[in-house]
Amino acid sequence: MNQYKINFDQYKGFKPGNIKLLMGVCGLYFIFLKKTEIPYPFRKSRLIYIGMSEKRTNSIGKRLLGHYRGASGNEGLINYRKVEGLYFTYLNFEMLKTIWSYRIEDLESYFILSFVNRYGVYPICNNKTGLEVLKKDLNLNFEIDWKYFEKGNTQNG
């Protein structure tokens, strides 16, 4: 089984100027709180949402702008942004296609289920459950740097 380490790029403030740079980019995106850690059952994290964009016409930039403006209808994201402010980071799907041979929806499910395994529940603002992608015969394993979203991480405050 092939093992791959997934590290996240430098985060950006959740504001239109940073979001518009991702128009046309497909992949996964991660929205997290600036300061507050959510006390999930197994450990705390500032990560509150894992999302995806499967095509350029509904890119990460478009999806994030929808969340920012409230068009997505995700009240949790809207209210956390108002009260505390948010950051985001992303993974470009083009960079993972050489090692991930399944759909991007399956990759999102893999990440969500990996989060559940580490923290005990789905991210607080995710409204859907992960598909059972981990039951597939995957010939790879991602070591995801979930600590990136935990307090005390020097890269993220």
Residue 27 has pLDDT above 80, yes or no: yes
Strands of the chain (E only): list them: 2-6, 12-13, 27-33, 38-39, 44-45, 47-53, 86-92, 140-144
Average pLDDT on 118-128 reads 91
CB atoms within 10 A of CB 114: 20
Residue 157 has pLDDT above 70, yes or no: no
Q: Using DSSP, state whether 125 is helix, strand or coil.
A: coil
Residue 131 — very low, low, confident or very high, per pLDDT cuts 50/70/90?
A: low
**What are the tens digits of pLDDT across the range 64-103?**
999 999 999 999 999 999 999 999 999 999 999 889 988 8
Highest mean pLDDT among 79-88, 102-111, 147-156: 79-88
